[in-house]
Chain A
Amino acid sequence: MSAEISDAELLKLTQNVWSVVLGQEIVPSERDLMSDIAGDFVVGRVLIAGDWQGTVTLACSAEMARHAAASMFGKTPAETDDSEIYDALGELTNMVGGSYKTLLPGTCNLSVPKVDGTVAHTEMSSTTGVRHWLASQDGVVLVSVAREG
Protein backbone atom coordinates (compact mmCIF):
# COMPACT_ATOMS: atom_id res chain seq x y z
CA MET A 1 0.00 0.00 0.00
CA SER A 2 1.04 3.61 -0.58
CA ALA A 3 -0.82 6.20 1.45
CA GLU A 4 -4.53 5.66 0.89
CA ILE A 5 -4.18 4.24 -2.60
CA SER A 6 -3.76 0.53 -3.08
CA ASP A 7 -1.09 -1.09 -5.20
CA ALA A 8 -3.87 -2.56 -7.35
CA GLU A 9 -5.23 0.93 -8.08
CA LEU A 10 -1.77 2.21 -9.02
CA LEU A 11 -1.30 -0.68 -11.43
CA LYS A 12 -4.79 -0.26 -12.86
CA LEU A 13 -4.39 3.44 -13.58
CA THR A 14 -0.99 2.84 -15.22
CA GLN A 15 -2.44 0.09 -17.38
CA ASN A 16 -5.34 2.38 -18.28
CA VAL A 17 -2.99 5.10 -19.55
CA TRP A 18 -1.17 2.58 -21.73
CA SER A 19 -4.41 1.10 -22.99
CA VAL A 20 -6.18 4.37 -23.82
CA VAL A 21 -3.24 6.38 -25.16
CA LEU A 22 -1.18 3.65 -26.82
CA GLY A 23 -3.75 0.92 -27.37
CA GLN A 24 -1.41 -1.49 -25.70
CA GLU A 25 -1.77 -3.92 -22.83
CA ILE A 26 0.97 -3.87 -20.21
CA VAL A 27 0.99 -6.69 -17.71
CA PRO A 28 2.09 -6.35 -14.08
CA SER A 29 4.96 -8.55 -13.02
CA GLU A 30 5.41 -9.86 -9.51
CA ARG A 31 9.16 -10.05 -9.94
CA ASP A 32 11.73 -7.32 -10.42
CA LEU A 33 12.34 -7.00 -14.17
CA MET A 34 15.55 -5.00 -13.86
CA SER A 35 17.67 -7.98 -14.76
CA ASP A 36 15.69 -8.44 -17.99
CA ILE A 37 16.88 -5.09 -19.36
CA ALA A 38 20.48 -4.45 -20.29
CA GLY A 39 20.04 -0.97 -21.79
CA ASP A 40 19.18 2.45 -20.42
CA PHE A 41 15.89 3.85 -19.11
CA VAL A 42 14.02 7.09 -19.75
CA VAL A 43 12.61 8.50 -16.53
CA GLY A 44 9.76 10.95 -15.98
CA ARG A 45 8.71 12.45 -12.65
CA VAL A 46 5.87 14.57 -11.34
CA LEU A 47 5.63 16.05 -7.87
CA ILE A 48 2.40 16.15 -5.93
CA ALA A 49 2.09 18.86 -3.28
CA GLY A 50 -0.68 19.64 -0.81
CA ASP A 51 -2.49 17.43 1.68
CA TRP A 52 -0.45 14.55 0.25
CA GLN A 53 3.10 15.15 -0.85
CA GLY A 54 5.34 12.93 -2.89
CA THR A 55 6.67 11.92 -6.27
CA VAL A 56 5.27 9.67 -8.97
CA THR A 57 7.99 8.27 -11.23
CA LEU A 58 7.57 6.47 -14.53
CA ALA A 59 10.65 4.74 -15.91
CA CYS A 60 10.52 3.06 -19.30
CA SER A 61 13.17 0.91 -20.89
CA ALA A 62 14.59 2.79 -23.86
CA GLU A 63 12.82 0.62 -26.43
CA MET A 64 9.51 0.89 -24.60
CA ALA A 65 9.83 4.69 -24.50
CA ARG A 66 10.71 4.81 -28.22
CA HIS A 67 7.72 2.66 -29.19
CA ALA A 68 5.38 4.73 -26.99
CA ALA A 69 6.59 7.96 -28.58
CA ALA A 70 6.27 6.49 -32.05
CA SER A 71 2.66 5.57 -31.33
CA MET A 72 1.82 9.03 -29.98
CA PHE A 73 3.52 10.86 -32.87
CA GLY A 74 2.22 8.51 -35.55
CA LYS A 75 5.71 7.52 -36.65
CA THR A 76 7.78 4.38 -36.76
CA PRO A 77 10.18 3.78 -33.86
CA ALA A 78 13.13 4.36 -36.18
CA GLU A 79 11.78 7.79 -37.18
CA THR A 80 11.30 8.92 -33.58
CA ASP A 81 13.94 11.24 -32.13
CA ASP A 82 15.00 11.87 -28.54
CA SER A 83 13.00 15.08 -28.12
CA GLU A 84 9.83 13.24 -29.14
CA ILE A 85 10.63 10.37 -26.75
CA TYR A 86 11.12 12.79 -23.83
CA ASP A 87 7.97 14.72 -24.75
CA ALA A 88 5.89 11.55 -24.93
CA LEU A 89 7.23 10.14 -21.68
CA GLY A 90 6.57 13.47 -19.98
CA GLU A 91 2.94 13.33 -21.06
CA LEU A 92 2.54 9.69 -20.01
CA THR A 93 4.03 10.58 -16.62
CA ASN A 94 1.67 13.53 -16.38
CA MET A 95 -1.29 11.22 -17.01
CA VAL A 96 -0.19 8.56 -14.53
CA GLY A 97 0.61 11.18 -11.89
CA GLY A 98 -2.61 13.06 -12.56
CA SER A 99 -4.69 9.89 -12.33
CA TYR A 100 -2.96 9.04 -9.05
CA LYS A 101 -3.57 12.52 -7.67
CA THR A 102 -7.26 12.32 -8.53
CA LEU A 103 -7.56 9.32 -6.18
CA LEU A 104 -5.90 11.12 -3.27
CA PRO A 105 -8.02 12.66 -0.53
CA GLY A 106 -7.81 16.37 0.18
CA THR A 107 -6.40 19.09 -2.02
CA CYS A 108 -3.25 18.52 -4.03
CA ASN A 109 -1.49 20.09 -6.98
CA LEU A 110 0.51 18.39 -9.70
CA SER A 111 3.80 19.75 -11.03
CA VAL A 112 4.74 19.95 -14.67
CA PRO A 113 6.45 16.64 -15.54
CA LYS A 114 10.23 16.50 -15.67
CA VAL A 115 12.00 13.97 -17.86
CA ASP A 116 15.54 13.03 -16.94
CA GLY A 117 16.36 11.70 -20.34
CA THR A 118 18.43 8.59 -20.50
CA VAL A 119 19.28 7.07 -17.14
CA ALA A 120 21.80 4.30 -16.81
CA HIS A 121 20.42 0.90 -15.99
CA THR A 122 22.57 0.76 -12.86
CA GLU A 123 21.00 3.92 -11.43
CA MET A 124 17.47 2.54 -11.54
CA SER A 125 17.91 0.54 -8.35
CA SER A 126 18.02 3.82 -6.40
CA THR A 127 14.34 4.51 -7.11
CA THR A 128 12.58 4.59 -3.77
CA GLY A 129 9.04 4.06 -2.54
CA VAL A 130 6.43 1.63 -3.76
CA ARG A 131 7.67 0.03 -6.98
CA HIS A 132 5.80 -1.98 -9.57
CA TRP A 133 7.03 -3.48 -12.80
CA LEU A 134 4.89 -3.90 -15.89
CA ALA A 135 5.81 -5.32 -19.28
CA SER A 136 4.67 -5.55 -22.88
CA GLN A 137 6.28 -6.87 -26.01
CA ASP A 138 8.06 -3.50 -26.40
CA GLY A 139 9.83 -3.49 -23.05
CA VAL A 140 9.25 -2.75 -19.38
CA VAL A 141 7.85 0.06 -17.25
CA LEU A 142 8.62 0.79 -13.62
CA VAL A 143 6.03 2.91 -11.85
CA SER A 144 6.91 4.08 -8.38
CA VAL A 145 5.36 6.33 -5.76
CA ALA A 146 7.37 7.87 -2.94
CA ARG A 147 5.58 9.78 -0.20
CA GLU A 148 7.43 12.59 1.52
CA GLY A 149 6.90 13.78 5.05
Chain B
Amino acid sequence: MNILVVDDSTAMRKIIINTLGKTELKGAKVTEAATGKEGLDKFLSGNYALILSDWNMPEMDGLEFITKVRRADTRVKIIMITTEGTVGKLDSAMESGVDEYVVKPFTAEVLERKIRKVMGRSAA
Protein backbone atom coordinates (compact mmCIF):
# COMPACT_ATOMS: atom_id res chain seq x y z
CA MET B 1 0.00 0.00 0.00
CA ASN B 2 1.18 3.51 -0.85
CA ILE B 3 0.41 6.51 1.37
CA LEU B 4 0.99 10.19 0.55
CA VAL B 5 1.65 12.65 3.39
CA VAL B 6 1.44 16.32 2.38
CA ASP B 7 2.43 19.02 4.87
CA ASP B 8 4.79 21.98 4.62
CA SER B 9 6.13 21.24 8.11
CA THR B 10 8.79 18.53 8.20
CA ALA B 11 8.10 18.07 11.92
CA MET B 12 4.41 17.48 11.28
CA ARG B 13 5.13 14.98 8.50
CA LYS B 14 7.38 13.10 10.90
CA ILE B 15 4.68 13.05 13.58
CA ILE B 16 2.10 11.79 11.07
CA ILE B 17 4.42 9.08 9.74
CA ASN B 18 5.28 7.97 13.28
CA THR B 19 1.57 7.67 14.00
CA LEU B 20 1.04 5.63 10.84
CA GLY B 21 3.67 3.26 12.19
CA LYS B 22 1.46 2.55 15.18
CA THR B 23 -1.47 1.37 13.06
CA GLU B 24 -2.12 -1.63 10.85
CA LEU B 25 -0.60 0.47 8.08
CA LYS B 26 2.87 -0.03 9.54
CA GLY B 27 5.04 -1.18 6.69
CA ALA B 28 3.17 0.79 4.04
CA LYS B 29 5.30 2.83 1.65
CA VAL B 30 5.04 6.50 2.61
CA THR B 31 5.80 9.33 0.20
CA GLU B 32 6.19 12.91 1.47
CA ALA B 33 5.37 16.24 -0.16
CA ALA B 34 5.83 19.75 1.24
CA THR B 35 3.20 21.62 -0.81
CA GLY B 36 -0.09 20.87 -2.48
CA LYS B 37 1.58 21.27 -5.87
CA GLU B 38 4.29 18.75 -5.04
CA GLY B 39 1.66 16.47 -3.57
CA LEU B 40 -0.45 16.63 -6.73
CA ASP B 41 2.55 15.87 -8.94
CA LYS B 42 3.42 12.83 -6.82
CA PHE B 43 -0.19 11.69 -6.62
CA LEU B 44 -0.68 11.83 -10.38
CA SER B 45 2.47 9.79 -10.97
CA GLY B 46 1.74 7.18 -8.32
CA ASN B 47 -0.91 4.81 -7.03
CA TYR B 48 -2.03 5.78 -3.54
CA ALA B 49 -4.63 4.27 -1.22
CA LEU B 50 -4.52 7.01 1.41
CA ILE B 51 -3.63 10.71 1.51
CA LEU B 52 -3.06 12.68 4.71
CA SER B 53 -2.90 16.37 3.87
CA ASP B 54 -2.47 19.66 5.66
CA TRP B 55 -4.72 22.55 4.62
CA ASN B 56 -2.61 25.68 5.17
CA MET B 57 0.34 25.31 2.77
CA PRO B 58 2.24 27.52 0.34
CA GLU B 59 1.97 27.30 -3.48
CA MET B 60 -1.21 25.20 -3.48
CA ASP B 61 -3.28 24.83 -0.31
CA GLY B 62 -4.80 21.58 0.85
CA LEU B 63 -8.31 22.34 -0.31
CA GLU B 64 -7.22 23.03 -3.90
CA PHE B 65 -4.99 19.95 -3.77
CA ILE B 66 -7.84 17.72 -2.61
CA THR B 67 -10.24 19.15 -5.17
CA LYS B 68 -7.78 18.32 -7.96
CA VAL B 69 -7.09 14.86 -6.57
CA ARG B 70 -10.81 14.10 -6.49
CA ARG B 71 -11.18 15.08 -10.14
CA ALA B 72 -8.63 12.39 -10.97
CA ASP B 73 -9.54 9.72 -8.40
CA THR B 74 -12.73 9.15 -6.47
CA ARG B 75 -11.51 6.08 -4.57
CA VAL B 76 -8.41 7.23 -2.70
CA LYS B 77 -9.12 7.86 1.00
CA ILE B 78 -8.32 11.38 2.17
CA ILE B 79 -7.78 12.72 5.68
CA MET B 80 -7.33 16.48 6.09
CA ILE B 81 -5.13 17.43 9.03
CA THR B 82 -5.66 21.09 9.80
CA THR B 83 -5.76 23.87 12.37
CA GLU B 84 -9.02 24.84 10.68
CA GLY B 85 -11.70 24.08 13.25
CA THR B 86 -14.43 26.35 11.89
CA VAL B 87 -17.52 24.30 11.08
CA GLY B 88 -18.25 26.05 7.78
CA LYS B 89 -14.72 25.54 6.52
CA LEU B 90 -14.65 21.90 7.58
CA ASP B 91 -17.94 21.44 5.75
CA SER B 92 -16.37 22.85 2.60
CA ALA B 93 -13.48 20.40 2.99
CA MET B 94 -15.87 17.48 3.28
CA GLU B 95 -17.78 18.72 0.21
CA SER B 96 -14.49 18.83 -1.70
CA GLY B 97 -14.01 15.12 -1.14
CA VAL B 98 -12.27 14.77 2.22
CA ASP B 99 -13.30 11.53 3.98
CA GLU B 100 -12.27 12.64 7.47
CA TYR B 101 -10.51 15.51 9.15
CA VAL B 102 -8.30 15.88 12.20
CA VAL B 103 -7.96 19.26 13.89
CA LYS B 104 -4.48 20.28 15.10
CA PRO B 105 -3.24 19.91 17.73
CA PHE B 106 -4.17 16.24 17.82
CA THR B 107 -3.16 13.24 19.85
CA ALA B 108 -1.76 10.15 18.16
CA GLU B 109 -4.83 8.24 19.33
CA VAL B 110 -7.19 10.56 17.47
CA LEU B 111 -5.25 10.27 14.23
CA GLU B 112 -4.98 6.49 14.61
CA ARG B 113 -8.76 6.27 15.06
CA LYS B 114 -9.45 8.38 11.97
CA ILE B 115 -7.00 6.35 9.87
CA ARG B 116 -8.63 3.09 10.93
CA LYS B 117 -12.08 4.55 10.24
CA VAL B 118 -11.39 5.64 6.67
CA MET B 119 -9.46 2.47 5.87
CA GLY B 120 -12.42 0.39 6.97
CA ARG B 121 -10.86 -1.13 10.02
CA SER B 122 -12.39 -1.13 13.47
CA ALA B 123 -11.21 1.47 15.94
CA ALA B 124 -8.82 0.38 18.64
Footprint of B on A, CB under 8 Å?
Answer: 16-17, 20-21, 69, 72-74, 84, 87-88, 90-91, 94-95, 97-99, 101-102, 107, 110-112
Query: In the complex the two chains form, what is the Cα distance from A111 to B84 in whole Å?
Result: 12
- On chain B, the residues within 8 Å of A95 by CB distance are 83, 104-105
Q: How far is the CB of A148 from chain B (nearest CB, A)?
A: 20
A-B interface contact total, Cβ < 8 Å: 60
Which B residues form the contact surface with A (CB < 8 A)?
Answer: 8-12, 14-15, 18, 56-58, 82-86, 88, 104-107
B83/A110 in contact, CB under 8 A = yes
Residues of A within 8 A of B88 (CB): 107
- Please tell me if the beta carbons of A20 and B8 are within 8 angstroms of each other in the complex: no
Complex: A90 Cα to B84 Cα, angstroms: 16
- Contact status of A91 and B11, CB under 8 A, knowing A99-B85, A101-B83: yes
- Closest residue of chain B to A71 (Cβ to Cβ) is B11
Q: Which residues of B contact A88 (CB under 8 A)?
A: 9, 11
Give the chain A neighbours of B105 by CB distance below 8 A. 16-17, 20-21, 95, 99
B85 contacts A72, CB within 8 Å?
no
Are A98 and B9 in contact, CB atoms less than 8 angstroms apart? no
Name the A residues within 8 Å of B85 (CB-CB): 98-99, 102
Task: Across the A-B interface, give the 5 residue pairs with the lowest CB-CB distance, nearest first.
Answer: A98-B83, A102-B85, A20-B105, A72-B11, A91-B9
Q: Which residue of A lies closest to B11 (CB)?
A: A72
Chain A residues with CB under 8 Å of B83's CB are 94-95, 97-99, 101-102, 110
Across the interface, A69 reaches (CB within 8 A) one of B11, B15, B106, namely: B11
